């Protein structure tokens, strides 16, 4: 009778543990993501209803990067969750004046709904694809990081120099980059590259937020007839 090798048992057991850990991160990530999206939508709606002004690019960047830094530092502590809601709520507030602007345009309501529908379809489609196929998209990491940095700087230039063509190009680039980030982050969770559901939630939320605002800009421009 052949003896049973210990490593034959350890490998499947280790694989099962890794799969269970990955499933737990996925479950916690999507649960927290759904709550933060709802909270952000609530703050955006309040911002629209109260006609609150946009805080401006400087306050927006300071608030975003400051809260992001805090979340990164506190990602393993009890403060991480409140900070995530602070960040997503703040981003929802900054989104309110942008939505108000598009709602004031002809067919503005339709434009906003199309952007929301497009964002949902892209996110659900890409997430389902990554979860179903379990393909490893880690190879996209370096390209996405460089692409986002370049697009971010180009976006700032478009704002400060008021170059509409550049702004549209940046929005189109962000649609592609954020779609890539959704695939990358989902794959990262599946394959154990991201084990902190707080950071995974923030990454996916930011991708969804930028995807929505970029689609809104593109659809708003197309619908304006300019």
For 201-223, write each residue's pLDDT tens digit: 999 999 999 999 999 999 998 87
Note the pLDDT tens digit of each residue in 149-174.
999 999 999 989 989 999 999 999 99
Whether 187 and 131 have beta carbons less than 8 Å apart is answered as no
Whether 98 and 209 have beta carbons less than 8 Å apart is answered as no
pLDDT tier at 6 (50, 70, 90 boundaries)? very low
- What average pLDDT does this structure show over 136-150? 94
Which structural domain range is residue 151 located in? 6-224
pLDDT at 128 over 70: yes
Encoded tokens for 196: 């902190």
The answer to the question of residue 126 being in a domain is yes
Quickly tell me which residue has 């180009």 as its tokens.
154
Whether 219 and 105 have beta carbons less than 8 Å apart is answered as no
Encoded tokens for 7: 């490593």
The answer to the question of residue 206 being in a domain is yes
Rounded CA-CA distance 44/102 in Å is 13
| Confidence at residue 19, expressed as pLDDT on a 0 to 100 scale | 76
The answer to the question of residue 1 being in a domain is no
Name the domain count of the chain: 1
The answer to the question of residue 92 being in a domain is yes
The answer to the question of residue 176 being in a domain is yes
Please name which of 32, 7, 64 lies closest in space to residue 213, comparing C-alpha atoms: 64
The answer to the question of residue 125 being in a domain is yes
> Model-level pTM?
0.89
Note the pLDDT tens digit of each residue in 106-127.
889 999 999 999 999 999 999 9
Note the pLDDT tens digit of each residue in 49-96.
999 999 999 999 999 999 999 999 999 999 999 999 999 999 999 999
| Confidence at residue 80, expressed as pLDDT on a 0 to 100 scale | 96
The answer to the question of residue 162 being in a domain is yes
The answer to the question of residue 163 being in a domain is yes
């Amino acid at each position: 009778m052949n003896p049973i090798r210990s490593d034959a048992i350890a490998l499947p057991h280790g694989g099962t543990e890794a799969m269970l850990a990955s499933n737990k991160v996925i479950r916690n990530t999507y649960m927290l993501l759904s709550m933060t999206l709802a909270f952000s939508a609530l703050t955006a709606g309040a911002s629209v209803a109260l006609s609150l002004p946009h805080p401006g690019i400087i306050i927006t960047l300071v608030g975003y990067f400051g809260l992001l830094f805090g979340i990164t530092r506190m990602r393993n502590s009890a403060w991480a969750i409140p900070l995530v809601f602070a960040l997503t709520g703040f981003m929802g507030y900054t989104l309110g004046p942008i939505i108000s602007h598009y709602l004031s345009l002809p067919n503005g309501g339709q434009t906003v709904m199309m952007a929301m529908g497009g964002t949902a379809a892209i996110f659900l489609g890409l997430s389902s694809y990554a979860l179903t196929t379990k393909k490893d998209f880690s190879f996209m990491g370096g390209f996405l990081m460089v692409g986002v940095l370049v697009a971010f700087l180009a976006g700032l230039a478009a704002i400060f120099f008021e170059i509409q063509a550049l702004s549209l190009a940046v929005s189109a680039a962000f649609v592609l980059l954020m779609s890539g980030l959704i695939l990358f982050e989902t794959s990262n969770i599946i394959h154990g590259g991201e084990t902190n559901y707080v950071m995974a939630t923030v990454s996916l939320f930011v991708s969804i937020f930028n995807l929505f605002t970029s689609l809104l800009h593109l659809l708003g421009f197309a619908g304006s007839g300019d």
